[in-house]
Amino acid sequence: MTDRTSPIDDVSGPESAAAPPVDPDATTDVPLRESASRSPVDPDLMDDLLERCLEQYLEAAPLASPQELGRFLPEVDLGTQRFLLVELIKLDMASVSEATVTGSAMAVVPRVEDYLTHFPQVMTAADVPLDLLMEEIQLRKESGELLDPADYAKRFPQHDSMIAELLGGQLSAKPEATAAAVNRKRPPEFQVGQQIDDFVIVQTLGSGAFANVYLARQLSMSRLVALKVSRGTGDEPQALAQFDHPNIVRVYDQRMIDDPPAHLLYMQFHPGGTLADVVDRVRHTRPWDRSGDLILQSVDRSLLKTAQAVPERSALREMLGAMSWPMAVAWVGIHLSRALENAHRRGVMHRDVKPANVLLSAEGVPKLADFNVSFAGSAGRAGAASSFGGSIGYMAPEHLRAISATSFSAPEDVGPRADLYSLAILLWELWQGRRPFESQGRPKSWTDAVSQQLIARESLGDPATHGEDALARLLEKILRDTLAFAPEDRIGSGAELEARLILALHPDAAQLFDPEPESWHGWLSRQSPWWVAATTILVPNAIAGVYGFFYNQQDTLEKLFAEVEGLSTTFTTLVICINSVAYPLAVVLAIYFTRRVVKGLESTASGKEATEEDLFAALELAHRAAVIGGLLWCLAAILYPAVLSYVHPEFSRREVGHFFLSHVICGGVAAIYPFFGLSIYAISVLYPRMVRSKLNDPNFDRRVAKLVRRCERCLLLACLVPLMGVTLLLVSNEDAKHVMLIAIAATGLGLFAAFSAYRYILRQCSAMTPVLSSKRDSILSM
């Protein structure tokens, strides 16, 4: 996971779409009039075409004449030829300068016109882009020449406004990196069966201008390894060797050999190919035929190429093969998010996350690597990109700005969020078979290509295939959040992205955290918490009040009002006094506790992470409502008979017992059903809404255990309420028995509803457990 010496963009289409090979013996000028009428090359293939041209140049360098650059220009449209020629000229200018600096006091730097005379139909002086002019200026300045601004203004008047700044030293490009890259020679090539040091070559896995990778057998350890052969060491071995992560390719060691001079880096061999192979299969597979088995098909094909056995009785392969395609894409993203999180915690940026840099094990597990040899031949591109590395098709906006020839961004500006941005592009391409944005127009130079990519990042396209299920919608939302143009608007860490993607592996949890608009979850989540809380609390209390009034009216009060003088007045006064205190107090407390929950929802809706107080308030709302209702009714159960019996001694113990028990039943109704109603609301709407932005709650297991214990206690109380009703039925007056029978039937149905609510709450907690629990998910631990 180290900085590259060149920006690399992988192949974006089938091999057949690439330009035909050029004739190595051709030295004549390019037949422009024929190529001008050709169809434009797909912009997504442009970088791959450039890599091929530059690799062919590096194999043939040094050239005898600038005219020989025509050998490397394919027969494509004029705009593409001009783009390729600009980059070839940059590379050749640096190559000539580097080759002559050792033989003379001053390097001989060719002029741009030295090349234009051989390709007049491809490019004229008026067509010279700014970055090519910058390349010449920088090389000439480094060679010690004194440059005349008037000369450059006369030669290239279209850049007159920038020439003074360029010659004043305000260059962000670094062509010296290009020259250094040219000075690195092509690595030695080895044949199958050949022994090099401790290794016997088994097969060629990939080759490029600066490195070759072989499948080799290490004799001393009797194991297969991936052997990377290059000339220079770089800092890749040191960066990769510090990792011991299941989703990062493990580097064993490195060696230097003298004959031939080469650097050997040997690492863990993964025979399942790369995600680039899977992306290619996705492009050729109809959307409705895609599933996790697509990854296994690609892996098995690579296993066959390397003569490796397909794992038998693999639970992981069976599970992956049964996944839907959005689920499989999320599964890959989870593993790679973990790898990036591990790297970022160690202060290492990858900066080149793309399908070709993700290897697959025999079971399809993705492994993040940082060597790309098949497409490593584009080191000739000039500019600050040499210091950053990366593939422009997968770069974040800040990464593109950093490698832009007119940018002054510092390397440290390209941080962890840029890696996550690249990962999101990779996952979108894996999901849809294409990237989420397309550059418009034909780039005239490398800088122009970078600028077009940067403009494309400002707006994301729609998926080619829209998923109808919650998983596809959720995956799209997660990727869009990670592809926000401004870094501060994106998902902030690999751990956060991992948590969000885990939802796609759990449909039940996905319905909770991202409900379908037409579902009752979606409808309920759109309702005001004030309205939901008020309804859930008031309705059971109103039912309890109606029951208490009619029962006591029929059983006790109607008869006593006629027999005891002044009882009616005392009771009315007592009702007014108790209710004038109890109801306002209940309303104030309910508003206070609900307001805390609403503030938490507003805070998380604005993008802030839910605090411990927010989550506590959401899950405590049901308990607090139950305590308020139950406690006030129980106080009324004590106050009513106590005051009435004190003021009117005629108020017998039987009436006191009936009043007390009927109000306790009312208190049970006022406590139990608001508790279960608000618990369902909290666990289905409030809590998921508060944690879905980060999907992180270290205390989730403790909260769930506490909620389940409370549900069990309330369920026990729900069983006691009908039993108390039966007790009252046995001692009630005949006139009140029908009221109590209705109450017993209602509380019996309430017991069934409470038990159903309890089961529902358990299911919701179980659905969220794989996402939020500290216990590892079995799907991801294999």
H or E element that contains 670: helix 653-681
Of the candidate ranges 164-178, 389-403, 416-430, the one whose mean pLDDT is the lowest? 164-178
Distances (CA, A) of 346 to 239, 247, 254, 343, 763: 10, 15, 21, 5, 39
Q: What is the pLDDT of residue 181?
A: 44
Q: Which of 374, 371, 350 is nearest to 277 (CA)?
A: 374
Which tokens in the block code for residue 293?
Answer: 């088995």
Q: What is the pLDDT of residue 708?
A: 94
The residue ranking higher by pLDDT, 510 or 296, is 296
Q: What is the pLDDT of residue 654?
A: 80
93-122 pLDDT, tens digit each = 887 876 655 444 456 788 888 898 899 888
Type of residue at 772: L
For residue 11, is pLDDT > 70? no
Q: Give pTM, 2 decimals.
A: 0.67
Q: What is the pLDDT of residue 195?
A: 92
Convert 461-476 to b/e letters by CB count within 10 Å (16 or more is b). eebeeebeebbbbbbb
Q: What is the pLDDT of residue 388?
A: 47
The DSSP letter of residue 251 is E
Residues 6+ apart with CB under 8 A from 486: none
Distances (CA, A) of 326 to 648, 735, 757: 74, 64, 32
Taking residues 394-423, report their average pLDDT.
Answer: 75
Which tokens in the block code for residue 163?
Answer: 């020439």
Q: What are the strands of the beta sheet with 211-218, ordered from one edge?
A: 195-196, 199-207, 211-218, 223-230, 261-268, 251-258
Of the candidate ranges 110-119, 251-260, 464-473, the one whose mean pLDDT is the lowest? 464-473
The residue ranking higher by pLDDT, 18 or 338, is 338
Q: Which of 272, 324, 266, 312 is nearest to 296 (CA)?
A: 272
The residue ranking higher by pLDDT, 525 or 424, is 424
Query: Which positions make up the binding site?
Result: 228
Q: What is the pLDDT of residue 782?
A: 46
Which tokens in the block code for residue 730?
Answer: 């046995």
The residue ranking higher by pLDDT, 20 or 690, is 690
Q: What is the pLDDT of residue 166?
A: 60
For residue 461, is pLDDT > 90? no
Winning range, highest mean pLDDT, from 389-403, 456-470, 600-614: 600-614
62-102 pLDDT, tens digit each = 788 888 888 888 888 888 888 888 888 888 888 787 665 54
**Residue for token pair 């029951």:** 547
Taking residues 693-709, report their average pLDDT.
Answer: 88
User: What's the whole-number average pLDDT of the chain?
Assistant: 79
Going by pLDDT thresholds of 50, 70 and 90, the confidence category of residue 729 is confident
572-592 pLDDT, tens digit each = 888 889 888 888 898 899 999
Q: What is the pLDDT of residue 61?
A: 77
Query: Which positions make up the binding site for ATP?
Result: 228
Is the separation of the CB atoms in 393 and 12 below 8 Å?
yes
Convert 427-448 to b/e letters by CB count within 10 Å (16 or more is b). bbbbbbbbbbbebeebbbbbbb
Q: Which of 498, 391, 412, 414 is nearest to 50 (CA)?
A: 391
664-679 pLDDT, tens digit each = 888 888 999 999 999 9
Q: Which segments of 51-198 are extended strands (E)?
A: 195-196
* Residue 201, beta-bridge partner list: 216
